Amino acid sequence: MTAQLKLDAKASAAGGQPLTQKGESLWKDALRRLIRNRAAVIGGIMILILYFFAIFAGVLAPYSYEKQTLTDQNKVPQWLINVFPTMKPYAQVSENYLMGADYVGRDLFSRIVYGARVSLTVALIGPFISLLIGVTYGSISGFFGGRVDNIMMRLVDVLYAFPSLLFIILLMAFFRSTFSKPDPGTFSYALSQADARLGGMLFIFIGIGLTAWETMARLTRGQVLSVREKEFIEAARTIGATNWRIMFRHILPNIVGPLVVAETLAIPGYISTEAFLSFIGLGVNPPTPSWGAMISDGAQVVRTYPNQTLFPALALAITMFAFNFLGDGLRDALDPRLRGTQ
Amino acid sequence: MADLLTVQGLETRFRTREGMVHAVNGVSFALREGETLGIVGESGCGKSVSVLSMLRLIPTPPGKVVAGSAIYQGKDLLKMTDEEIRQIRGSQISMVFQDPMTSFNPVLTIGRQVAEPLEIHQGYNRAMAYERAAEMLNMVGIPRAKERLGDYPHQFSGGMRQRVMIAMALICTPQILIADEPTTALDVTIQAQIVELVKRLRDELGMAIIWITHDLGIIAGLADRVNVMYGGYIIEEAPVKELYTNPQHPYTIGLLNSLPRMDETDHRRLASIDGLPPVLLEKPGYCPFAPRCHLAVERCWNENPSLLRVGDQHTTACWVDPGTGRERQ
Quick one: closest CA in B to A254, which residue?
B107
**How many angstroms from the chain centroid is the CA of residue A230?**
32
Q: Are A262 and A219 a contacting pair, CB within 8 Å?
A: yes
Q: Note the pLDDT of residue A336.
A: 60
Span A13-37, mean pLDDT? 65
pLDDT tens, A42-81? 999 999 999 998 888 888 878 888 778 788 788 888 887 8
For residue B61, count other CB atoms closer than 10 A to its CB.
10
Span A1-6, mean pLDDT? 48
HSE, side-chain direction, 13 A CA sphere, residue A312 = 36
Eight-class DSSP state of A182 = P
Quick one: closest CA in A to B91, which residue?
A239
Q: Which of B91, B107, B172 to mutate to test the interface with A (most CBs of A within 10 A)?
A: B107
**Domain ranges, ordered by start, for chain A:** 41-338
Q: Note the pLDDT of residue A26.
A: 67
User: Which stretches of B47-121 are assigned E, i.e. beta strand?
Assistant: 63-72, 75-76, 93-96
Beta strands B315-316; B308-309: pairing state: antiparallel
Q: From residue B190, give the alpha-carbon distance in Å to each of A184, B157, B182.
A: 77, 11, 11
Return the higher-pLDDT residue of A90 and B267: A90
DSSP A39-91: HHHHHHHHHHHHHHHHHTHHHH-SS-SS---GGGTT-B-HHHHHH-GGGTTTP
| A13 pLDDT tier (thresholds 50, 70, 90) | very low
Residue among A305, A311, A309, A295 at smallest CA distance from A75: A305
pLDDT tens, A294-337? 898 888 888 888 888 889 999 999 999 999 999 888 888 877 66
CB contact under 8 A, B94 and A235: no
Q: Are B90 and B171 a contacting pair, CB within 8 Å?
A: no
**Domain ranges, ordered by start, for chain B:** 3-92+208-327
The CA distance from A65 to B184, in Å, is 72
For residue B16, count other CB atoms closer than 10 A to its CB.
11
How far A243 CA sits from the closest chain B CA (Å)? Answer: 10
Q: Note the pLDDT of residue B118.
A: 87
pLDDT at A3 exceeding the cut of 80: no
Span B7-29, mean pLDDT? 86
pLDDT at A10 exceeding the cut of 80: no
Contacts of A23 in chain B (CB under 8 A): 109, 150-152, 155
Enumerate residues 6+ apart whose C-beta is below 8 A from B196: none
For the ranges A314-323, B83-92, B169-178, B253-262, the lowest mean pLDDT is seen at B253-262
CB contact under 8 A, A254 and B95: no
B34: left (phi over 0), alpha (psi -120 to 50) or beta: left
Q: State what percent of residues in chain A have pLDDT above 70.
A: 89
pLDDT at A6 exceeding the cut of 70: no
CB contact under 8 A, B155 and A21: yes
CB contact under 8 A, A23 and B151: yes
| B173 pLDDT tier (thresholds 50, 70, 90) | confident
Q: Does the CB of A252 have a partner CB in chain B at under 8 Å?
A: no
pLDDT at A339 exceeding the cut of 60: no
How far B285 CA sits from the closest chain A CA (Å)? Answer: 34
Contacts of B155 in chain A (CB under 8 A): 21, 23
Helix (H) or strand (E) holding A211: helix A201-228
pLDDT at B221 exceeding the cut of 70: yes
Q: Are A79 and A277 a contacting pair, CB within 8 Å?
A: no
Return the higher-pLDDT residue of A140 and A195: A140
The CA distance from A313 to B115, in Å, is 55
The strand pairing partners of B21, in sequence order, are: B14
B44: left (phi over 0), alpha (psi -120 to 50) or beta: left
Q: Are B251 and B271 a contacting pair, CB within 8 Å?
A: no
Q: Note the pLDDT of residue A333.
A: 83
- Domain A41-338 indexed as CATH 3.40.190.10: no
- Domain B3-92+208-327 indexed as CATH 3.40.47.10: no
The CA distance from A121 to A110, in Å, is 17
Q: Which amino acid is at B304?
A: N
Q: Note the pLDDT of residue A317.
A: 93
CB-nearest to A240 from B106, B120, B155 is B120
**How many angstroms from the chain centroid is the CA of residue A70?**
35
Q: Are B149 and B137 a contacting pair, CB within 8 Å?
A: yes
pLDDT tens, B236-279? 898 988 888 888 888 888 888 888 777 767 777 777 887 777 77
Span B73-100, mean pLDDT? 86
Q: Note the pLDDT of residue A18.
A: 46
CB-nearest to A239 from B61, B99, B117 is B117
3-state secondary structure of B250: helix
Contacts of A242 in chain B (CB under 8 A): 86, 120
The CA distance from B282 to A261, in Å, is 49
pLDDT at A12 exceeding the cut of 50: no
Q: Which of A17, A226, A231, A239 to mutate to test the interface with B (most CBs of B within 10 A)?
A: A239
pLDDT at A204 exceeding the cut of 90: no
How far B283 CA sits from the closest chain A CA (Å)? Answer: 28
Contacts of B88 in chain A (CB under 8 A): 240
Mean residue pLDDT across chain A: 82
B262: left (phi over 0), alpha (psi -120 to 50) or beta: alpha
| A1 pLDDT tier (thresholds 50, 70, 90) | very low
Mean residue pLDDT across chain B: 85
Eight-class DSSP state of A18 = P
Span B178-202, mean pLDDT? 85
Q: State what percent of residues in chain B have pLDDT above 90.
A: 3
Q: State what percent of residues in chain B have pLDDT above 70.
A: 99
pLDDT at A268 exceeding the cut of 70: yes
Give me the interface pTM, i.e. the ipTM.
0.80
Q: Note the pLDDT of residue A16.
A: 44
